[in-house]
Structure 1
Amino acid sequence: MNDDAIKIPSIKEQSFTLKNIAIYLEKCISCRSENMSFIGGEIDDTDKLILSSLVRNGVRKAVMDEVGISDRTLRNHLNKLGILFDADNDIKIIMTAINLGIIDTHGNIL
């Protein structure tokens, strides 16, 4: 028997719990979808490449080299993303992009 399993004694309680989990997941997916449709038109391919590279490399200089853009261009894109995501630093920008499903924690573009 698996010790990590949730111990719910009756089928009725299990059904109720699973239903609540499904409702919660639907709300999360719906919210993410709404956020992406709102933000989706504002984010271009360069923004996505910058976000991906920033997750993988962690430093702006490496992002500039990898994406092939200048410091000024990078700053402009990150300023735009900061305003769009209501984030005041690179970490918050990255976390918002991950939470919105634009990139994953490995920097893969979704």
Structure 2
Amino acid sequence: MSQGKKRLGKTSSYIWKSIWAVKGILEKAICWGVGTGSNISIHADAWIPDAVNFRLSSVMRDAKVSELIDDNARIWRRELINNTFSEDDAGKILWIPLARTPHDDLLV
């Protein structure tokens, strides 16, 4: 989610300064909603509801969530997920609903 160290400008609006003040809280509460999965890193991004910090506990090479989705059928690649992740993490992934029509990933 974060892309390097950014600073607040001196001429920023009151609203932007207020958002900046709670940025750390927001970063801990924001989670990716899976659309295509092409913009979500399996390990670096927060995308697993009901997981600690919305992240997996299993270790896997870093890849995009899209690799876990059968894009033609718009379903999770269940066998890959079950063979790659812990039972707990696999269950959490498979619990995430996928839209029938692909859409962009979004922050929720």
Which structure's residues are more often helix, by fraction?
A: 1
Structure-2-length-normalised TM-score: 0.33
Which structure's residues are more often strand, by fraction?
A: 2
Structure-1-length-normalised TM-score: 0.33
